[in-house]
Chain A
Amino acid sequence: MDAFTTHTGRAVPLRRSNVDTDQIIPAVWLKQVSRTGFEKGLFAAWREDPAFVLNDPVYEGASILVSGPDFGTGSSREHAVWALQQYGFRAVIAARFGDIFRNNSTKMGLLPIVLPAETVEALQAAIEADPAIEVTADLAAREVRWGGESAGFEIDDYTRWRLLEGLDDIGLTLRHADDVQAYENGRQRWLPTTV
């Protein structure tokens, strides 16, 4: 996983609620067996509309997505995270996230930032007023900053540490292989196996 410490870039306002993962990456894109090339499928259906915000040249190169509430609901497809990252996004800001999407993001180093709905609204308005405004997502300080404004956000210490260090979860768990073995030795004998 790529480490995430702090990132400054331009942002794009997505004024929609309930942006489900089927919209972020439609199912037809899930047939790929590789981890790359998903940027072309990001919001594929919505991008066919010339008026869709990602098609607005003023937001070209933006790396922070500022969405309406309930971003990433629905399907567990991690491809949604890959598509956002490969398109160039490093962080997504919303008032609420789907639980699985949020979890998947933290496994991949895409920072999901929860801010109050009115703060998200103010940030979207600031971006619309000046699309060149720079937004900083500072994980170390747990803070988002833009144009003289700032807003703190919460993230648990463990996830923050993992993201700051870019640590692989599997490697961390394998350090506790003895605990896993001990647990396995005590499992109930009636539990099923697939063999």
Chain B
Amino acid sequence: MGRTLAEKVWEQHVVRRADGEPDLLYIDLHLIHEVTSPQAFDGLRLAGRKVRRPDLTIATEDHNVPTVLGPIADPVSKAQVETLRKNAAEFGIRLHPMGDPGQGVVHIIGPQFGLTQPGMTVVCGDSHTSTHGAFGALAFGIGTSEVEHVLATQTLPAYRPKTMAIEVSGELPFGVTAKDLILAIIAKIGTGGGQGHIVEYRGEAIRDLSMEGRMTVCNMSIEAGARAGMIAPDETTFEYLKGRRHAPSGEAWDAAVEYWKSLRTDDDAVFDTVVEIDASVLSPFVTWGTNPGQGVPLRDAIPAPGETSDPAAAQRALDYMGLSAGTPLTEIQVDTVFVGSCTNGRLEDLRAVAEVLRGRTVTARTLIVPGSMQVKADAEAEGLHEVFKAAGAEWREAGCSMCLGMNPDTLAPGERSASTSNRNFEGRQGKGGRTHLVSPAVAAASAVTGRLTAPADL
């Protein structure tokens, strides 16, 4: 019987297999940031252990960093960033600190440097590590104990999850984006739908996506409960990688591409679970509740709790969000619009926002936060920042920013946002804040009208 993409990559990384034990998997790339690593480095020091492969490890500062120029004002955030700097220096790990041209959100810089490649295993102490699966890598988030384990051994013990195919047939209609697609998938299978699985996104609509769109889809696999999401590499992948700083070159490139082309699910392979989605019927999608599965098409109204799969949770979410069943989504007023994050902080996302904002003015507070310093430079080279500023939006420095509000960019209690990030949990963007997850284009249109709006309705 044939094998799935996930099975091929898994098997390629088994260091040791023994009856009744988890496989010991080799890790090709370990990404580090300031929040989930300090206790891991402390653990190494306590046990007198070293980092086995600093040359397969890279660190950046992203979660805590302010997005306005200047030092970190919060002494606790500052201490955490300084701890990462000390640890990186002590253990010999490459670090891209604030202000460095290579700095940015950890899941944006890996692909940008060409460090994320097909068939690799990639881990990070961050659940959105699934982003890197867009390249056909097996990439998943880990906790701090596992961060320490990878630092010490460059391996992880793990049981192979089940496999799930999400087959997306048809073409996405004009104006419907990768973000709308993944929000629709999560609404269909639920926040626990992918638990215990590695998802492979397949089908025409997936193949038609750009690398950046594929990263948006894989990024939110965890919101559907799956630790990892993957897409088979193809010409789009190779085109993206070619010429990047850490991509192979010359003969090595040819050898790599030959191998990468084998990284596809065999025709006779069998998935444990199959989900089918018709892309052609989708439209801009938004969330109304406090988990990412509580989403509907923007043109719809808020469902009655009794019509949902979990009425008690829906009622609780409506109470928190200050909303009532039956209200059309397009009547919901927003105070703040956030564009950015590892979900939607890349150049194409900023282009989509600029396209909507060009010649228009925002009526809500609008933060546009590039995912990395490189994204910022690229956007400015195209003049996108001028469009944002002319529209009245704030153009910021790179970081995670309002996706999780660990830096000063937060919502006030009761404040409502349209956000291109990945989680609408209670208090995620600031205590008492209310979050609606949207695509970059919907975020921009909502910034113009001050209520949830599709660009087509401007």
Contact = CB atoms under 8 A, between A and B. Distances in A.
A99 B55 contact: no
Contacts of A35: 39, 42
Contact of B192 (A15, A96, A104): A96
Interface string A16-49: 1110101100111011111100000000010000
A170 interface: yes
A49 B252 CA distance: 60
A180 B155 contact: yes
Contact of A180 (B36, B39, B153, B312): B153
B225 A98 contact: yes
Interface stretch (A55-63, A75-83, A121-129, A146-154): A75-83
Contacts of B145: 78, 104, 107-108, 169
Contact of A190 (B126, B141, B248): B248
A73 B225 contact: yes
Given A158-B21, A170-B152, A180-B26, A100 B191 contact: no
Contacts of B127: 74-76, 100
B203 interface: no
A179 interface: yes
A2 to B, nearest CB: 13
Contacts of A195: 55, 94
A174 B405 contact: no
Contacts of B64: 31
A35 to B, nearest CB: 5
A45 to B, nearest CB: 5
A78 B120 contact: no
Contacts of B259: 188
B310 A194 contact: no
B57 A99 contact: no
Interface in B222-268: 222-223, 225-227, 246-248, 252-253, 255-256, 259
A79 B406 CA distance: 15
B117 A192 contact: yes
A28 B406 contact: yes
B79 interface: yes
A191 B28 contact: yes
Contact of B191 (A16, A18, A78, A177): A18
Interface in B60-117: 63-64, 74, 76-77, 79-80, 83, 93-94, 114-115, 117
Interface in A110-157: 156-157
8 contacts: A22-B426, A73-B291, A99-B227, A103-B142, A174-B153, A183-B15, A192-B29, A194-B58
